[in-house]
Amino acid sequence: MFKKMTYLISLVLLLVQFQNASAQIMWSDDGPDHLWSTIANWGSSNLPTAIDSVSIDAPDNTHCEIQDGITAECETLRVGNAVSTTNLDISGGSLTVAGAYIGVDSTSGHGILNISGGLFSSGALQIGWRGVGTLNMTGGTVELSGNLIVPGLTGTGTVNLDGGTINASDLRLTSELGTLNITTGTLALNGDDTEAIQTFIR
């Protein structure tokens, strides 16, 4: 009896672990709109959760949209992880992630994060990890508990700040392939990086 009970408990724990396991959820844009909150736009029977990794890689020129009233989340966000140009547009609502990579692996593709409103929260935000990445910001708020990194590794990254607020632990321009263009808006960093970013103000 004791052995049967032990096996039953082990089976229940295994099922709980399986149900809590993270998934890789791919954007498909197959729904009637382009909203993050529409299940039919994902290659899954569920919307992404805080333990799921999300990839917005296709179709070419797609726009995944987060608007007012949408509260979105995922564990790792990847935009532009293939040969296509893909966009994530945040005009309202919120998106909370543990870490984000815009322009991931392929130099033939282009990942673009467009923020005109709402709230985007992340650990680190890497623009151009090994691919081509762009952040276009005209409004809203970016809250980073980690660093804004441009580019991430060997990629090409561009940040165009033309409104809104970016709060980050630090700014890291890791190579000449990283560009920061500031026309208006606010870039708030921990510490004094005024001298480091002064040449990027247009």
Domain residue extents for the chain: 23-200
CA-to-CA separations, 31 to 39, 55, 64, 120, in angstroms, rounded: 8, 17, 11, 23
Give yes or no for residue 21 having a pLDDT over 60. no
Rg for the chain, CA atoms, rounded? 19
Would you state the torsion angle of the CA atoms of residues 46, 52, 58, 62, taken in this order, to the nearest 10 degrees?
70
Amino acid at residue number 116: S
Dihedral sign for Cα 2, 3, 8, 9, please: positive
Q: How confident is the model over 41-60, as a mean pLDDT? A: 97
The answer to which of 47-51, 170-174, 189-193 has the lowest mean pLDDT is 189-193
Tens-digit pLDDT profile for residues 120-179 = 999 999 999 999 999 999 999 999 999 999 999 899 999 999 999 999 999 999 999 999
SS3 label, residue 130: coil
Q: Which two tokens stand for residue 168?
A: 């980050």
Residue 183: CA atoms inside 13 Å, Cβ hemisphere, count?
A: 9
Give the total residue count for the chain.
202
Tens-digit pLDDT profile for residues 78-133 = 999 889 999 999 999 999 999 999 999 888 899 999 999 999 999 999 999 999 99
Confidence bin at 49 (pLDDT 50/70/90):
very high
Residue 12, H or E segment? helix 2-19
Give yes or no for residue 8 having a pLDDT over 90. no
Strand pairing class (132-144; 156-168): parallel
pLDDT at 198: 60
Q: How far is CA 157 from the centre of its chain?
A: 14
Confidence bin at 23 (pLDDT 50/70/90):
confident
92 CB neighbour count, 10 Å cutoff: 16
Asked whether the beta carbons of 67 and 91 are under 8 A apart, the reply is yes
Spatial neighbors of 48 by CB under 8 A, at least 6 apart, are 25, 36, 42, 54, 72, 73, 74
Measured CA to CA, the distance from residue 148 to residue 193 in angstroms comes to 13
Confidence bin at 22 (pLDDT 50/70/90):
low
SS3 label, residue 42: strand
pLDDT at 17: 40
